[in-house]
């Protein structure tokens, strides 16, 4: 296998003094650097409003990297690598919507292209709040930075939130595509950079034994759980405007659905893989907004204990209005109307303040036609063969099936056959999603980035739900009532309404075993 190392380039990070840059981007770049995966001509230019010199920026980032290292690893901070990395970092202060700042930026970029061997390849990263996406990209165009010289490239990475509904996503796409070509735009969803998410495709299409049974003839239903144990903490200001549907479902959860359900691509390349994901999203049955409650459950966490620590209810969190109707939990029954999945519900759920942090996909197979073997579970008619793709933590793939318990009587118990990353590939660090994605963007590989049509289709289905909720609220308002979301105590698996959604189909959630992490 060829080692994938990045070509030389200058990466301009907008929002360089923000949380994302410090917690994710720079640590990822530093780790790539330490693995020798960046070119010697790699240079970072941080850009933000705060006045700072290059050295002050380097100090800030150095501190952030040390903190990150302490939080994530037991190994000591690599001072030698840092001493070599720091001189590659530069900083340019400026506004996000004034031409003069961008003219200064263009001058600085030209200087750095001269002083460092960037080969005039430019990667712009929008790690800013979304309200400046449009002005920043317009100004890039105005000062000539959206162009590139012969033989060089210019790319743009856009962070979420990518719009807040279908219309705003379309508007943003139209705007970006006036400045850049679609091939230059890399819409990031960090879930796609997770090793185990990529492994969904290897598991399905790199093996001959699973794909023949991965369809409506054998699969009864699919469950996808993306649970988080933390509450919203200090991110209330952002979260309250998004809620679980925009923060997690439109992007991460829909991507997991697409990868689990997609047809084999004609080749493993950006266009073929994304074509098949788009086909799945197109096949997701749009719901009638008036029937939203038949398909979607939303709720908010109340006070409770997670891993033994008390956390305040969502409405008691600082920065959240006590009347907020933002959902912190969402469960959705999706139907995929295509030949492979017709009649196989995909139940997805995500929430904050759940008992543990875990993401897993459970493919629940049909039962055998006759159930001969008696056991407590089979009597309840609940046992199934299950393939569990555990995305995080304890990355693994588990096959659950029935086995005879040793002894004179015929007692059956569900057992697991499991493949665990840490055991199989012991000692290999599972790298952070951002590392993989930043490297891919530098290499011009957009397979793991979201194409325009993908994001718009996901927004289309999500917007049906948002419309349904808006209608409900309007009806209540006219009756002089206010909406109150179902509550679940922090540290529990969500509201009863979510269990009812499955019980209606004689199904029940398969809750991951608690492992004390999170």
Q: Which residues are catalytic?
A: 252
Q: Does 360 bind ligand BG6 (CB under 6 A)?
A: no
**Are the C-beta atoms of residues 518 and 306 closer than 8 Å to each other?**
yes
The owner of tokens 């239903």 is 221
Cβ proximity to ligand BG6, 8 vs 193, nearer residue: 193
CB distance 133 to 164 below 8 Å: no
Rounded to whole angstroms, how far apart are CA atoms 25 and 16? 9
Cβ distance to ligand BG6 smaller for residue 25 or 112: 25
Window 53-92: contact mask with ligand BG6 (x via CB under 6 A):
----------------------------------------
Which one, 27 or 265, has the nearer CB to ligand BG6? 27
CB of 40 to ligand BG6, least distance (A): 31
Rounded to whole angstroms, the Cα distance separating 69 from 38 reads 20
User: For ligand BG6, what does the binding mask look like between residues 179 and 218, x meaning CB under 6 A?
Assistant: ----------------------------------------
454 counts as binding ligand BG6 under rule CB under 6 A: no
Q: What is the DSSP string of 102-134?
A: HHHHHHHHHHHHHHS--TT-EEEEE-S-GGGHH
Q: Give 228 or 402: the residue with its C-beta nearer to ligand BG6.
A: 228
User: Dihedral, CA atoms, 423, 424, 425, 426, nearest 10 degrees?
Assistant: 20
Residues 236 to 295 in contact with ligand BG6, rule: CB under 6 A: 247
Closest separation in Å from C-beta 191 to ligand BG6? 7
CB of 464 to ligand BG6, least distance (A): 22
Instruction: Work out how close the CB of 235 gets to ligand BG6 at its nearest, in angstroms, rounded to a whole number.
Output: 7
Nearest to 84, CA basis, from 45, 23, 21, 42: 42
The alpha carbon of residue 269 and the mean position of all alpha carbons in its chain are separated, in whole angstroms, by 20
Which residues, 6 or more positions from 325, have their beta carbon under 8 angstroms from its beta carbon? 473, 483, 484, 485
CB neighbourhood size of 474 (10 A):
10
Query: Binding to ligand BG6 (CB under 6 A): which residues in 311-330?
Result: none
Q: Whose Cβ is closer to ligand BG6: residue 53's or residue 234's?
A: 234
In the complex with ligand BG6, which residue's Cβ is closer, 352 or 452?
352
Judge contact between 432 and 190, C-beta under 8 A: no
Residue 228, interface with ligand BG6 (CB under 6 A)?
Answer: yes
Count residues near ligand BG6 (CB under 6 A): 2
3-state secondary structure of 353: coil
Write down the least CB distance from residue 228 to ligand BG6, Å: 5
Rounded to a whole number of angstroms, the minimum distance from the CB of residue 72 to ligand BG6 is 12
CA nearest 96: which of 51, 136, 156? 136
Residue closest to ligand BG6 (Cβ): 247
Q: Which residues would be at the binding site for ligand BG6 (CB under 6 A)?
A: 228, 247
């Amino acid at each position: 296998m060829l080692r994938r190392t990045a070509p030389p380039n200058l990466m301009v990070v907008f929002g360089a003094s923000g949380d994302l840059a410090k917690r994710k981007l720079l640590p990822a770049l530093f780790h790539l650097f330490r693995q020798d995966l960046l070119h010697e001509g790699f240079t970072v230019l941080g850009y933000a409003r705060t006045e700072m010199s290059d050295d002050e920026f380097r100090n800030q980032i150095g501190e952030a990297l040390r903190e990150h290292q302490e939080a994530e690893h037991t190994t000591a901070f690599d001072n030698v690598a840092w001493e070599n990395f720091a001189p590659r970092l530069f900083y340019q202060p400026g506004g996000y919507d004034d031409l003069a700042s961008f003219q200064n930026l263009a001058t600085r970029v030209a200087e750095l292209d001269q002083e460092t061997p960037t080969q005039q390849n430019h990667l712009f990263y929008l790690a800013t709040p979304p309200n400046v996406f449009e002005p920043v990209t317009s100004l890039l165009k105005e000062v000539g930075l959206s162009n590139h010289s012969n033989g060089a490239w210019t790319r743009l990475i856009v962070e979420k939130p990518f719009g807040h509904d279908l219309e705003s996503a379309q508007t943003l796409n139209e705007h970006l595509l006036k400045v850049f070509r679609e091939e230059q735009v890399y819409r990031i969803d960090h879930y796609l950079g997770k090793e185990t998410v990529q492994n969904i495709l290897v598991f399905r299409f790199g093996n001959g034994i699973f794909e023949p049974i991965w369809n409506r003839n054998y699969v009864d239903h699919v469950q996808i759980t993306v649970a988080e144990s933390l509450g919203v903490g200090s991110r209330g200001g952002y979260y309250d405007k998004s809620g679980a549907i925009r923060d997690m479902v439109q992007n991460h959860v829909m991507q997991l659905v697409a990868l689990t359900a997609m047809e084999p691509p004609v080749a493993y390349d950006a266009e073929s893989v994304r074509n098949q994901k788009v086909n799945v999203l197109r096949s997701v049955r749009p719901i009638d907004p008036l029937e939203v409650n038949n398909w979607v459950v939303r709720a908010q966490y109340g006070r409770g204990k997670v891993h033994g620590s008390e956390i305040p209810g969502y409405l008691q969190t600082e920065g959240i209005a006590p009347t907020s109707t933002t959902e912190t939990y969402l469960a959705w029954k999706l139907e995929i109307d295509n030949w492979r999945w017709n009649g196989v519900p995909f139940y997805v759920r995500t929430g904050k303040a759940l008992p543990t942090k875990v993401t897993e996909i459970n493919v629940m197979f049909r039962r055998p036609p006759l159930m001969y073997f008696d056991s407590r579970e089979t009597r309840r008619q609940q046992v199934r063969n299950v393939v569990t793709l555990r995305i995080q933590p304890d990355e693994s793939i588990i096959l659950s099936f029935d086995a005879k318990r040793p002894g004179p009587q015929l007692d059956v118990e569900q057992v697991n056959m499991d493949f665990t990353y840490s055991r199989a590939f012991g000692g290999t660090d599972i790298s952070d999603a951002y590392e993989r994605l930043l490297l891919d963007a530098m290499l011009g590989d957009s397979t793991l980035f979201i194409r325009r049509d993908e994001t718009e289709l996901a927004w289309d289905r999500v917007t049906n739900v948002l419309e349904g909720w808006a209608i409900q609220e309007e009806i209540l308002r006219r009756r002089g009532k206010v909406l109150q979301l179902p509550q679940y105590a922090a540290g529990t698996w969500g509201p009863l309404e979510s269990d009812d959604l499955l019980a209606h189909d004689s199904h029940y959630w398969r809750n991951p075993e608690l492992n004390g992490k999170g």
